[in-house]
């Protein structure tokens, strides 16, 4: 469960508490070899740092955690490619019975050469020590301004993704939209006012659809140049197009209101 702000407590202390809990959870997950949970907690702590706005140390710490997430991303992609292939196998039509075992074998061969993500535990421990010594600079109104910034970034990313549809830049634009939505989702979970519940679910659904689309792109790249990859390419692209449509429709609904109305609906005006 994601920890939450306890409003009524001093904000700097709450930032330190949340950062410590999230960093500790990330370290525990990586020590156990759980790459998915490690990366999830890192995304949450980076979303927390983005809520500080004016703190000089937060960007540096966010960059450290980002680099660790990138370092273990290959192991994450290995797991995701196998899971994505299983989902793809359950969707009609099926290209041929021999295609999926061949694809699975190719992915397992690639996985065998991936470095153990646990070797990055020492780097994460060092990042956690930075968090332990953090003295956040947070003033009243920062949360509201930071949330407004995140929401506006989501709307801008949506406009770019819509404008780039069908172009070579479309994939990168969609990936940027997912990152922005995921950050907003994490921030709403941390704040968790009575008005955030429905929007958390909607943001999660959008990020999930774009994430699945991205996972299919990674799978396609991993299998490129193999007979199995060639046989699955049309099916992969068809499913990616379907997920893109779903993500864009849902994002348009979530982000259609103005920033001011969005903040009012989630009750952020009560946060000081």
What confidence score (pLDDT) does residue 25 get? 97
What confidence score (pLDDT) does residue 193 get? 85
pLDDT single digits (tens) 248-269: 999 999 999 999 999 988 886 6
Angle at 251 between CA 187 and CA 68, to 5 degrees: 45
C-alpha radius of gyration, the chain, whole number? 20
What confidence score (pLDDT) does residue 247 get? 94
Mean pLDDT, residues 132-150 taken together: 91
Query: What stretches of 113-169 show up as alpha helix (H) in DSSP?
Result: 121-132, 142-163
Question: Considering only CA atoms, which of 43, 68, 70 is closest in space to residue 122?
Answer: 68
How far apart (Å, rounded) are the C-alpha atoms in residues 10 and 12?
Answer: 6
How far apart (Å, rounded) are the C-alpha atoms in residues 102 and 245?
Answer: 30
Question: Considering only CA atoms, which of 1, 16, 24 is closest in space to residue 124?
Answer: 24
Of the pLDDT bands very low, low, confident and very high (cuts 50, 70, 90), residue 270 is low
DSSP 85-116: HHHHHTSSSP--TTHHHHHHHHHHHHHHTSPP
pLDDT single digits (tens) 25-68: 999 999 999 999 999 999 999 999 999 988 899 999 999 999 99
Choose which CATH entry (3.40.50.1820, 1.40.20.10, 3.40.50.970, 3.30.1330.10) describes domain 11-270.
Answer: 1.40.20.10
Question: 80 to each of 49, 151, 173, 186, 217, how far by Cα in Å?
Answer: 27, 28, 21, 21, 11
What's the N-to-C CA distance of the chain in angstroms?
24
pLDDT single digits (tens) 197-239: 899 999 999 999 999 999 999 999 999 999 999 999 999 999 9
What confidence score (pLDDT) does residue 169 get? 79
Look at residue 133 and tell me whether its pLDDT is greater than 70. Answer: yes
* Length of the chain as a residue count: 272
Domain ranges in the chain are 11-270
pLDDT single digits (tens) 73-110: 999 999 999 999 999 988 887 676 679 999 999 999 98
């Amino acid at each position: 469960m994601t920890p939450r702000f306890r409003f009524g407590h001093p904000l700097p202390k709450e930032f330190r508490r949340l950062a410590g809990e999230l960093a500790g959870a990330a370290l525990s997950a990586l020590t156990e070899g759980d790459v998915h949970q490690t990366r999830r907690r890192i995304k949450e702590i980076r979303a927390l740092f983005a809520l500080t706005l004016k703190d000089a140390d937060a960007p540096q710490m966010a960059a450290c955690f980002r680099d660790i997430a990138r370092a273990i991303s290959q192991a994450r992609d290995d797991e995701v490619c196998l899971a994505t292939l299983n989902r793809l196998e359950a969707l009609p039509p099926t290209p041929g019975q021999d295609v999926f075992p061949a694809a699975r074998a190719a992915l397992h061969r690639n996985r065998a050469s991936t470095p153990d993500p646990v070797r990055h535990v020492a780097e994460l421990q060092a990042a956690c020590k930075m968090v332990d010594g953090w003295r956040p600079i947070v003033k009243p109104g920062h949360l509201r301004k930071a949330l407004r910034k995140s929401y506006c970034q989501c709307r801008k990313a949506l406009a770019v993704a819509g404008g780039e549809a069908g172009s070579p830049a479309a994939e990168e634009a969609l990936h940027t939209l997912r990152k922005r939505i995921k950050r907003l989702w994490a921030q709403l979970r941390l704040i968790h006012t009575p008005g955030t519940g429905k929007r958390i679910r909607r943001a999660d659904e959008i990020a999930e659809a774009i994430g699945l689309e991205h996972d299919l792109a990674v799978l396609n790249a991993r299998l490129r140049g193999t007979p199995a990859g060639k046989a699955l390419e049309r099916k992969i692209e068809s499913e990616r197009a379907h997920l893109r449509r779903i993500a864009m429709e849902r994002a348009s609904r979530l982000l259609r209101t103005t920033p001011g109305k969005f903040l009012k609906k989630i009750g952020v005006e009560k946060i000081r």
